[in-house]
Amino acid sequence: MKAGVIVFPGSNCDHDCYHVLKHVAGFDTDFVWHEKKSLKGYDLIVLPGGFSYGDYLRTGAIARFSPVMSAVEKFADRGGLVLGICNGFQILLESGLLPGAINRNTGLHFLCKFVKLSVENNKTSFTSKYKNKQIISIPIAHNEGNYYCDDKTLAALKKNNQIIFKYHGENPNGSIEAIAGICNKKGNVLGMMPHPERCSESELGSSDGRLLFDSIRCL
């Protein structure tokens, strides 16, 4: 399986994702500069965390217009797997590939710590190696991680089993219904605020994120 890690100006988790994909999970992995206009040959595209374009306007709002995002949209329409982590999740929301929006954290503080998540749907390409309702430990690192959507969108997310991860035990950023990650209706685009690439090796304090990449690799 071939994976591409999108690099935007300001990305700072691109090397983390590349390391886990290539050296831990065993994917054939490339960096993909944000000006690239074709994603032919890839099976998985990862939008990593970071501060794309410095987040000067609104998180993900400028990156959404990078040339590569048109290719990402076409790639997703064809059924390609897309994973957006933290800022990558925000970019997917801004681009309309996933519904909803992100607000500032409740309390207006940057949060960087391990949190507990509940796996709400283990029937996706990203979560098949997890048990349903499994509690996992994954770190967050964000200032704008407060996921929000209107009542109609929330009802649709629930009906279609698009809520993939929820915060367990605490809701650190105030997200509606403690949502930490969602997918699209087709199940091939996943956005999540926590960083699975930062906990894919036991030396980092948890290897719970490894199962997400193993789920993809086993397709």
Spell out the SS3 assignment of 124-165. Answer: CCCCCCCCCCCEEEEEEEECCCEEECCHHHHHHHHHCCCEEE
Residues marked as catalytic: 86, 195, 197
User: E strands within 25-142?
Assistant: 28-33, 44-47, 81-85, 101-103, 111-119, 135-142
Boundaries of every domain in the chain = 2-211
Letter for the amino acid at 23?
A: H
Q: Which residue, 164, 159, 156, is CA-closest to 191?
A: 164
- Quote the tokens at residue 118: 């509940």
Q: What is the pLDDT of residue 4?
A: 98
* CATH number for the domain running over 2-211: 3.40.50.880
Q: What is the pLDDT of residue 163?
A: 98
3-class state of residue 161 by DSSP = coil
Q: What is the pLDDT of residue 68?
A: 95
Low-confidence stretches of the chain (pLDDT < 50) are none
